[in-house]
Amino acid sequence: MARTKSSKAWLHEHVTDPYVQRAKAEGWRSRASFKLMEIDDRDRLIRPGEVVVDLGAAPGGWSQVAAERLKGKGRVIALDLLEMAAIPGVDFFQGDFRDDAILQQLEEKLAGERVGLVLSDMAPNISGISVSDQARMMHLAELGLEFSRAWLKPDGAFLVKVFQGYGYDEFVTQMKQVFKTVATRKPGASRDRSAELYLLGRGLR
């Protein structure tokens, strides 16, 4: 099947993207690794000895960074709807975070241990219908927030990807009801034209 002009343009942008090239050269799973590295360099979120939960983990860029920065002290538990190749120091299982049975499996893996950091890079499969895509994106963010409220340590943090648009302001309000501080982050590895940004909540109220 012939590629469309838009898909050719995306492929060209992807192949020539400096972060994609760096990821390949340095052995990172994806360009997303650099997003978490930049945020963690600034905010010191990944602390050795803690449990890190990575929601929407595949292909593993964030889990890979978290495992490396834990330096063998602590745990990374990763979850995604898609398969993910094994990463040393990461306990991955496959499933849909929206499914109560999968959430129960995740909670069983925690075995009562509180979490230092919840990462959520979850995003729905984009349909092209912006209202629907945005609603599903915000729903995933809300599920991540609900999990964080239940499982984070009092001084824990929640880093979540969101799209600016319908429901964004309301979600920021929800974040502020849960966390003492809420900040926005737009790392350099996020494409300028992308509506994505990251919200960082720290310290449970």
- In sign, the C-alpha dihedral spanning 112, 76, 66, 178 is negative
169 known ligand binder? no
Q: State phi, psi for 158 to the nearest 5 degrees.
A: -130, 120
80 known ligand binder? yes
Cβ atoms of residues 106 and 88 within 8 Å: no
96 known ligand binder? yes
Q: State phi, psi for 89 to the nearest 5 degrees.
A: 85, 5
Q: State the Rg of the chain over Cα.
A: 17
Q: How far, CA to CA in Å, does 176 sit from each of 75, 142, 202? A: 27, 13, 10
Catalytic residue among 5, 73, 109, 161: 161
Q: How far apart are CA 101 and CA 93, in angstroms?
A: 13
Q: How far apart are CA 131 and CA 31, in angstroms?
A: 27
* Residue 161 among the catalytic residues: yes
Reading phi first (left if > 0) and then psi (alpha if -120 to 50, else beta), residue 134 is in: alpha
156 known ligand binder? no
Q: How far apart are CA 26 and CA 67, in angstroms?
A: 16
Residues placed in the known binding site: 60, 62, 80, 96, 121
Q: Which residues are catalytic?
A: 161
Residues placed in the known binding site for S-adenosyl-L-methionine: 60, 62, 80, 96, 121
